[in-house]
Chains A and B, each alone.
Chain A
Amino acid sequence: MAASLAASQRIDVRQDRRDARSKTLWIGGGALLMALYPFLDNALGINRLGSFMAIFVLVILAMGLNIVVGYAGLLDLGYAAFFAIGAYTNAFLTSPTSYFVRNDYIPEFLRHFWPALILSFFTAALFGVLLGAPTLRLRGDYLAIVTLGFGEIVPTFFLNATTITGGTLGINPISAPPAIPFFGGDLRFGASDQRNWYWLMLAVGLLSVFLINRLYDSRLGRSWQAVREDEVAAASMGINLVRTKLLAFGLGASFSGFAGSIYAAAFQYVHPDQFRFSVSIMILAMVILGGLGNIYGVIFGGLLIASFDRILVEVLRDPVQSFGRTFNIPFLENHDLSQDRFLVFGLALVLMMLLRPGGLIPNARRRAEMEPESEEIAAAESESLYDARREQEALAGERA
């Protein structure tokens, strides 16, 4: 028994190494392709760099939400609120039209992209901790509703506090990062330098993948999974539940704030409608569709849903309408695919929950739980405490 276990572990190690190598290859290849895409976009006249920028931000958001929902198992339905807080923090600090800048409340050195980015990160983290500290002891579904309530309060505030936020007008312009010296030339980040923005976002995305992967394997990441699987067991192993959950919540929030800040700067504009409940649900749908807890699954799910939201809706509109005209289907003739957004998010959530709760690319650990490798393990897992106790009692009886 012991020997075979050791042998299987040895095989596991080798397998892991092979997996890791092919994974690196995949990511490297994918990143290289994406880095070269702007040249293709230019050469073929596709003009979709702006859409891709938005998609990257959404995918980064999905990775951040995955920390909260996938790793720590806390359902956050108001994730867009932290996105809004990050975006508005940047706008308040750097926009020449912002209330705080006009009244000279902001010191000169803070009115730039990089300090604002860092501050957005910490502001969102602060709000995450402020919301999380009193609520994380709530049960899972109650926590979900509290975050939803918070997620509605924030855009309502930005919409109605017109003196400082401009209400429905939003705030623009927002300061862009200064030019970065690069091989003798300068990488500028003006409104027309979409290509540089694209690369910046790709770089931020890859950095996030790296950081989140390191986090997942860290002591903290392992405690998150332990808490997710069984709070009582985790607590009795010495994990501080409050601290662990709060870190997940705060880190997830700061991630969102960080992405919001970049988003605001890249599109030079913030508006309360960009952060509505449907955005939170879109990001949740990405995480669920791709695979809770698996960062590559989440990236895949994020790319699918975000590219539907930002590209396919527009690209497919004319073909669908002409299809409707050709085959005389009145419903499709004037159909605008952007009306189908909610259906897509909703179906992604429902079908995944019913048919494939692990997501399209499930997390290995979760898959192991759902589909045990051998019948022996499955039997051992499904054996209840009651059976074990009865066996023990029977043994004790024999001895007596």
Chain B
Amino acid sequence: MDFNAALFTQYLIIGIASGALIALIALGYTLVYGIVELINFAHGEVFMMGALFATTVVATVGVTNDSSGVAIVFMAIAALLASMLFSGLLNAGIDRVAYRRLRNAPKLAPLIAAIGISFILQNIAIYWKGSNPITPPSLIPTEYVRYNVLTEWFGLETRIRLRVLDLAVLGVTIPLLIGLTWFVYKTRTGKAMRATAQDRDAAALMGIDVNRTIAYAFLIGGALAGAAGMIAVYYNNSARFQMGFRYGLFAFTAAVLGGIGNLAGSVIGALCIGIVWSMSDGFMSQYIEGWGAGWTPAVIFAVLVLVMIFRPTGLLGEQTVDKV
């Protein structure tokens, strides 16, 4: 079968949108790992809880796709901010309750605690929303669900579809990324975070409240995951207690691929993973017999294992040395 450029572009668009989503989650892993060297295994579940919370907020307020355009836009922004706040506080709360006490314990202790917390959060999600996938309350006006930006706005005669939803993902992600960069490189707290990441003891000696700085990293990482959760619910039109596991691991793979601890690297890694994901889900089955979306996790985890083996520092990462 010949190379189908239109189909390829279509999956590229989906891949970039999913990549942007993954980037938001991956940044949470990177922020935390950069400072406390902890793989925050529960991060995927923080994302999932943000997603579930967003559905609750929208359902409670009661704005639906029949409401006026202004109400819908405000609702979307409010739900986004609410789930960011919720996930941020959840993540910082977990740090306060569990990880902070294990700061000086052997390195595997907080990792094991994080795995435990991820399971606890999944179970809480089952109590909260049941174990079956739920559909979020409809928010996007029906005429926009299948609306193709390329034909309607640019008048292009093409079968490639660029949905409003794809644009919305980028429209949320890009400002958040700019905001994060500004925060980390221009504010006092951001400077404190970078100092703590470099050398925790020296930072403490310089008068930085290390515990508070670490809490900020968890708060911001959690907030980004919450934003991703809100977007993911409407992008996929479903949510489930297990969604955090796959998204979380894909995002972690992205962070490792880009070089964990490196913010720009995480975004690049996330775009790569997003594109690999959508190609494997859709494009590959056109060319390889027996290929299906079921193979995607195997492909992504193979990327993870191979990167870990051959280039554990990732694409942009620096060499980290084990401290004796």
> What is the chain B residue whose CB lies nearest that of A340?
B123
Partner of B120, one of A157, A163, A350, A357: A350
Using known A-B contacts A142-B312, A144-B108, A232-B324, determine if residue A342 contacts B122 with beta carbons closer than 8 Å: yes
What's the nearest-Cβ distance from chain A to residue B14, in Å? Answer: 21
**Residues 114-154 of chain A, each 1 if its beta carbon lies under 8 Å from chain B, else 0:** 00000000000000000000110011111011101110110
| B304–A145 touching, CB < 8 Å | yes
Q: Does A345 contact B (CB under 8 A)?
A: yes
The one of B98, B115, B294, B297 that contacts A152, using a Cβ cutoff of 8 Å: B297
- Looking at the assembled complex, report how far the CB atom of A74 sits from the nearest CB atom of chain B, in whole angstroms: 9
Chain B's closest residue to A280 (CB) is B115
CB distance from A386 to the nearest CB of B (A): 14
User: What is the interface of chain A mostly: helix, strand, loop, or mixed?
Assistant: helix
Which residues in B have their C-beta under 8 angstroms from that of A153? Answer: 297-298, 301-302, 305
Find out whether the CB atom of B305 lies under 8 angstroms from the CB atom of A150: yes
Instruction: Tell yes or no: A307 within 8 A of B by CB.
Output: no
Interface residues of B in 215-274 (CB under 8 A from A): 245, 249, 252-253, 256
Residues of A within 8 Å of B324, CB to CB, are: 232
Q: Residues of B contacting A139 with CB < 8 Å?
A: 322
Chain A positions 75 through 88: 1 when the CB is less than 8 Å from some CB of chain B, otherwise 0: 10100000000000
Is B112 a contact partner of A349 (Cβ separation < 8 A)? Answer: yes
Within 8 Å of chain B (Cβ to Cβ): is A346? Answer: yes
Least CB distance from A120 to B in Å reads 22
Is the C-beta of B105 less than 8 angstroms from some C-beta in chain A?
yes
Known: A142-B312, A145-B308. A339 touches B123 (CB 8 A): yes
Contact (Cβ within 8 A) A353 B298:
no
Is B309 close to A, CB under 8 A? Answer: yes
Give CA–CA (A153, B296) in the complex, Å: 10
A160 / chain B contacts, CB cutoff of 8 Å: 292, 294-295, 298
Instruction: Answer whether A135 and B308 are a contact pair too, CB < 8 Å, given A140-B107, A144-B39, A354-B113.
Output: yes
A118 to chain B, nearest CB (A): 28
| A339 in contact with B116 given A153-B298, A156-B294 (CB within 8 Å) | no
A284 proximal to B (CB < 8 A): yes
**For residue B249, which residues in chain A have a CB less than 8 angstroms away from its CB?**
148-149, 152
- Chain B residues, CB < 8 A from A142: 308, 312
CB-CB nearest in chain B for A133: B309
Name the distance in Å between A186's Cβ and chain B's nearest Cβ.
44
CB <8 Å contact, B123 and A146: no
A54 at the A/B interface (Cβ < 8 Å)? no
Which residues on A sit within 8 Å (CB–CB) of B294? 156, 159-160
A357 in complex: contacting residue of B105, B118, B126, CB < 8 Å: B105
B31 interface hit (Cβ, 8 Å): no
Q: Give the chain B neighbours of A152 by CB distance below 8 A.
A: 249, 297-298, 301
Asked if A353 and B309 sit within 8 Å, CB to CB, the answer is: no
A227 is an interface residue with CB less than 8 A from chain B = no
Q: Is A199 part of the binding interface, using a Cβ–Cβ cutoff of 8 Å?
A: no
Does B54 have its Cβ within 8 Å of any Cβ on chain A?
A: no
In chain A between 270 and 293, which residues have their CB closer than 8 angstroms to a CB of chain B? Answer: 277-278, 281, 284-285, 288
- A348 contacts the other chain (Cβ, under 8 Å)? yes
Chain A residues with CB under 8 A of B126: 339, 342
Point out the residue from A277, A346, A349 that lies within 8 Å of B245, measured CB to CB.
Answer: A277
Determine whether A347 belongs to the interface, using a CB cutoff of 8 Å to chain B. Answer: yes
Separation of A157 and B309 alpha carbons in the complex (Å): 20
**Chain A nearest CB, measured from B259 CB (Å):** 13
**Cα-based distance from A145 to B39 in the complex (angstroms):** 9
Q: Do B309 and A134 have beta carbons less than 8 Å apart?
A: yes
Question: Chain B's nearest CB lies how many Å from the CB of A337?
Answer: 12
Which residues of B sit under 8 angstroms from A148, Cβ to Cβ? 249
User: Could you tell me if B115 and A141 are in contact, using CB atoms closer than 8 angstroms?
Assistant: no
Identify which of residues 106-135 in chain B touch chain A, using a CB-to-CB cut-off of 8 Å. 107-113, 115-124, 126-127, 131
CB–CB B308/A138 < 8 A: yes
Residue of B nearest to A134 (CB): B309
Would you call B101 an interface residue if the criterion is a C-beta within 8 Å of the partner chain's C-beta atoms? Answer: yes
Other contacts beyond A146-B309, A152-B297, A339-B123: 18, CB < 8 A:
A75-B112, A135-B308, A141-B107, A141-B111, A145-B308, A149-B249, A149-B301, A153-B301, A160-B292, A160-B294, A331-B127, A340-B123, A343-B123, A346-B121, A346-B122, A349-B116, A350-B116, A353-B105
Q: List 27 A-B contacts (CB under 8 A).
A: A140-B107, A141-B107, A141-B108, A145-B256, A149-B249, A152-B298, A153-B305, A156-B298, A160-B294, A278-B119, A281-B115, A331-B127, A339-B126, A339-B131, A342-B123, A343-B123, A345-B119, A346-B117, A349-B115, A350-B113, A350-B116, A350-B117, A351-B116, A353-B102, A353-B110, A353-B116, A357-B109
